[in-house]
Structure formats: C-alpha cells, structure tokens
Amino acid sequence: MTTLAVGVLSEHNSSEHRVALDPSATARIVHSGMAVLVESGSGTDAGFDDHSFAAAGATVTTRADVIAKCDLLASLGFPPDSVTNSLNSGQAVIGLLDPFNNLDAVRGLADRGVILVALELLPRTLSRAQAMDALSSQSSAAGYRAAIVAAESFGRYLPMMITASGTAVPAKVIVIGTGVAGLQAIATTKRLGAVVTGYDVRAASRAEVESLGARFLTSSVAAGTGEGGYARSMTAEEQAAQQQELAAALTAFDIIITTAKVPGRIPPLLVSAQTLSALKSGTVCVDLGASDKGGNVFGSVDGSTHTTVDGVVVVGGGNLAAQLPTSASQMYGRNMSAVIDSLASQGAITVDPTDEIHASIVVSHHGGITSPAVRAALNLPPLGSTDSMKVQVA
C-alpha cells in the first residue's frame, strides 16, 4: 500500500507566524503510518526548527518538493496562487480556507479535481468534532492575546494598585461577544485585575460570563442564538436599536474588546464613529473582527494600530492568534491531526457524505462542489446523491 504523504509549507506571510503542524502533531501522524513532508524553515517563527521536525519523523525538504509530492496539504489559510496553481487532481488541502470569501478560487480548484476541506465549516455542536475544532482553538488564542495587547496599549494599571504614592483604581473592561474568544478575553483581563463585563445579545451567555467572575450585560433587543450557536443576524432595525443601547454603555469603559465575526460576511459595526468620538481619551479598542471587509470598530485596520484625534487607541486584531504562534500552532496541529485521522486513517483520503462532519467540512471532491453551504453561495442546486465516495491516493 502506498504511504499517504502530508505536506506542510511556510505561510510566506509577514503577519503569520504559525505553522499548520507542529512536531508533536507530526509525530502522531508519522506514528499512524503516514509520511510528513515539511518545507525547511516553516516552523521557525513558531519556535520549531527543522531538527525538531526531523526528530519527529518528518522529511524536511524544499517548498517545490512538498507541493509536488504531498497528497494532502495542511494549511492555515487559503494557499496563495503560487501553491494552488501547482496542485493536481486528487491532492487535498485542509485548513481554515474561508471558502465564502474565495468562491472563484474554490470553484476553479474543484473543477481541477482538488479536494478542499474547510475547517470553519465544522459542525461545532457535535461532541466528536471537538478535537477537530480549529476555529475554537485559534479563537481561544486570539482572545488571550487580545487581553495582553489591550494591557500593553493601555496607559494605566489594569488592577487596583495601592502604593505609597496613592491608589490606582482598576480598569473597566467590556468584552463584546462571549464566544470562545470573548470568554478567553474575559478570563485573562479578569486575571490581570480589571473589572470586567461581558456583553452578548444571547441571554443564555450570562451563566458562562458570570462563572468567570465578570458582570453580564445584554441588549433589550431580542436577537438570540442562531445556527451553530452563533448569534443570529439582526434586522436593520434591531441592529440600530442595539447599537444605540450599546453606545450609551461603552463610554463608561476604559478597554473595549470586540469579537464579532460572521463567516463570509462583513462583520457588524459595534463601535460607530459617533461612539468612538464619545469615548474617553486613552480608551483602548481591540477589534478581533477586523478584516479586509471592515471591522467591529469604525476605522480599524487589520494588523494596524492608530490613535484617533480624540485620543482613543484602535487596534485591528483580526489575526491575533498569529501573535501567540507556539501555543496556537500546537493547538492547531492537534486539530489538524484529528481531521487527517478522520479523512485518511486507512492510507487513502476517504470522504463519506453520509458522515455529518465530512458532509460539512469537505467543500469539493470528485471534481465538484460538495458542501451544501458553498453550493448555495455559488447558486448551485443541491446535490441529489449521498453515495459514499473514496479516492485512492497514488
């Protein structure tokens, strides 16, 4: 039986310091009977040198060699054209591929027979999917890092400090959105000594927020929970009313951390220009929703920090997990190895559309788009067959 080869490349991005597989995950995959090919230097920014990968059983080689020989490419995001243009039918790419913002590229790769597996489409409410949940693991890293970035950018102590020179009052922090990132940001700012409030339109989030010792604030607008545990999209009227309520509350806080991301869509604006101008000078806003489509905070730019004319610091932090590269890579590697084990445990990539996880995360297979969500985004009709499919990798 031919050994299936898993490839790992450097992300070749100045703002990306993670690697898709760390040496521990590499060792697990090699132990399962697969080969791992790693581009030289790909783990350096995350604290993993070539020797650590070689010691884990990987073959450290060139970028071109990895692309040419791998059957399955482990990736953090959607690979650049320099990679995808070289992929052939039967090769697979697994990662946080953001398919709804890469629809043309997804369709082109599907037409060429490339298998695409998007981890953000994982049905997160399934207990057996938890080990594969890369979106949660990276959100946790981002939430932790957001608290540290906020503390670094804030000009005062976070905790109450009683000194011979006087008493410093604790900083007031509000975290908007209490998913995985938000809860981690709450827990971390709380540990740093701040007085913390968690805000969410889902009233059911109260228990989780209060269990961390934070206060809970919600909206009188009945938004509630949507599909997959996310807050549902609001109507324009609901959003206006919610924003007006939130704006009135935000002026009391010293640090604002926003975490609202909507996969494939423009993130909701939670801190408007008017609200931003009403905040106290020295207030810090860390926007985890920042992206090339906008952010939760008016004027935030992903990967950039600026101070407004009113003295408010705005941090665009859409990829803060990359600033915790060692831990984030280790968590991502565990997620990746679990997904690979699910799809290729028998020495071949096996996609079973009757399996709820496979049906959700496999975007393309057998030369076509198989994900119901991505087919809908491309205005394609639903698939009529759920017959099992198996690709035997040469």
Active site amino acids? 124, 130, 133, 136, 230
CATH code of the domain made up of 5-132+325-391: 3.40.50.720
Report the pLDDT value the prediction gives residue 347, as an integer from 0 to 100. 78
Report the pLDDT value the prediction gives residue 233, as an integer from 0 to 100. 62
Report the pLDDT value the prediction gives residue 262, as an integer from 0 to 100. 80
Report the pLDDT value the prediction gives residue 94, as an integer from 0 to 100. 98
Report the pLDDT value the prediction gives residue 11, as an integer from 0 to 100. 86
Report the pLDDT value the prediction gives residue 383, as an integer from 0 to 100. 81
Instruction: Please determine whether the domains at 5-132+325-391 and 142-323 fall in the same fold group of CATH.
Output: yes
Asked if residue 52 lies in contact with residue 364, where contact means CB atoms within 8 angstroms, the answer is: no
Q: Locate the domains of the chain by residue range.
A: 5-132+325-391, 142-323
- CA angle 99–100–105, rounded 5-degree value: 55
CATH class of 142-323: alpha beta
pTM of the model: 0.90
Q: Tell me how crowded residue 121 is: count the other CB atoms within 10 A of its CB.
A: 24
Positions in the chain short of pLDDT 70: 1-2, 222-234, 385-394
Question: Strand runs (DSSP E) across the chain, as ranges?
Answer: 5-8, 35-39, 59-61, 72-74, 92-95, 115-118, 161-163, 166-168, 172-176, 195-199, 215-217, 255-258, 284-287, 305-307, 313-316, 349-351, 362-365, 368-369, 389-391
Between the alpha carbon of residue 12 and those of residues 17, 235, 345, the distances in Å are: 9, 40, 29
Report the pLDDT value the prediction gives residue 388, as an integer from 0 to 100. 40
Report the pLDDT value the prediction gives residue 191, as an integer from 0 to 100. 97
Report the pLDDT value the prediction gives residue 2, as an integer from 0 to 100. 65
* pLDDT tens-digit readout, 312-327: 999 999 999 999 999 9
Between the alpha carbon of residue 183 and those of residues 71, 164, 176, 258, the distances in Å are: 37, 35, 10, 11
* pLDDT tens-digit readout, 155-208: 999 999 998 888 999 999 999 999 999 999 999 999 999 999 999 988 889 999
First CA to last CA distance, the chain: 9
Report the pLDDT value the prediction gives residue 1, as an integer from 0 to 100. 47
Report the pLDDT value the prediction gives residue 239, as an integer from 0 to 100. 74
